[in-house]
Amino acid sequence: MVIQPLGTLSSIALQDSINTITGREISQSFPEIFSAVRGTNRKSSKNAFAAAFPENDVSIKAGDCEVDDQIWQRKDFPAWRYFQEDTEADCLNNWKPRAKEATGKESYIQGELKKIGRGKMVAIVPESLQEKMNADPEFAREIAEKVQNWKIDYDKMDNALADSYGEDPVLYQMTKSYCIQLDEEGNVKNYMVVSGGMNTKKSSARDSADIQMLQNDFVKAITQMTLQNGAANWMKLF
């Protein structure tokens, strides 16, 4: 599998305080949080992902996503459509590229990425998998934890990349949104991660007031978005 070149920093994450239950210090464990939310009226699949990623705005797209892996890796593949509330898992099954490979910096791509915002997570789940998760809450928790572990590995790699670029991973992590496609076994098959939008360069003079100002700036506008698309198994090459 060819690793996509990163001309610019595409996505950066927090290493020691990762935005997941198992990767950061919190007062409750994943099973405890899951137990707290499973009594609600939501489906077990949504319950499980909401518990695993409490700081993300999680949505589930259940259905047959039949997009080819190579298409997923294109930077002009409009995976941003999955973040829209009125779209379904199969909405891009017939999408075909009309031009050569894009760089991701094109204005129309940047415009779509800016609409996504930050802290979103979309899970594209096969119908059969969702049915099993809804029928068995413990199985749903296992699948969510599997995705959680994938995110931990992904974010650790990105954090190392962030550090090499002189970025502040803690701040940059705040800007990220994830779209992931699961296979029938609940493994992450394909993904798109979008990030960017505020000055995250490290500074020894930065204090809490500076950080708050940067956070406020991000809320006002999202600029210079970057993205990485790919098949999840490329992670095994590292």
pLDDT reported for residue 149:
95
pLDDT reported for residue 235:
35
Residue with the two structure tokens 């319950």: 47
Contact between 19 and 53 under an 8 Å Cβ cutoff? The reply is yes
- Does pLDDT of 217 surpass 70? no
What pLDDT digit, counting tens, does each position of 151-184 carry?
999 988 887 787 788 877 878 778 889 999 999 9
β-strand partners of 182? 188
The Cα–Cα gap between 76 and 111 comes to 12
Contact between 186 and 147 under an 8 Å Cβ cutoff? The reply is yes
Residues 6+ apart with CB under 8 A from 90: 63, 64, 65, 66
Range with the lowest mean pLDDT among 14-23, 84-93, 145-154, 213-222? Answer: 14-23
User: 118, 122, 110, 227: which is closest to 171 by C-alpha?
Assistant: 118
Contact between 22 and 151 under an 8 Å Cβ cutoff? The reply is no
Q: What is the dihedral of CA 187, 46, 49, 196, to 10 degrees?
A: 100
Question: Where does the pLDDT of residue 198 fall: very low under 50, low under 70, confident under 90, or very high at 90 and above?
Answer: low
Residue with the two structure tokens 């572990």: 149
β-strand partners of 177? 194
Question: Where does the pLDDT of residue 232 fall: very low under 50, low under 70, confident under 90, or very high at 90 and above?
Answer: low
- Does pLDDT of 223 surpass 60? no
Range with the lowest mean pLDDT among 18-32, 76-90, 112-126, 138-152? Answer: 18-32
pLDDT reported for residue 153:
92
Quote the tokens at residue 44.
């077990």
Question: Where does the pLDDT of residue 72 fall: very low under 50, low under 70, confident under 90, or very high at 90 and above?
Answer: very high
- Rounded to an integer, the average pLDDT of 116-139 is 94
Contact between 59 and 92 under an 8 Å Cβ cutoff? The reply is no
pLDDT reported for residue 225:
61
What pLDDT digit, counting tens, does each position of 25-64 carry?
444 444 444 444 444 435 688 889 999 999 899 999 999 9
pLDDT reported for residue 203:
64
Contact between 191 and 120 under an 8 Å Cβ cutoff? The reply is no
Q: What is the dihedral of CA 224, 78, 82, 117, to 10 degrees?
A: 10
Phi, psi of 86 (to 5 degrees): -95, 15
Q: For the chain, give every domain's residue range.
A: 30-233
Give the whole-number percent of the chain exceeding pLDDT 90.
47
pLDDT reported for residue 171:
81
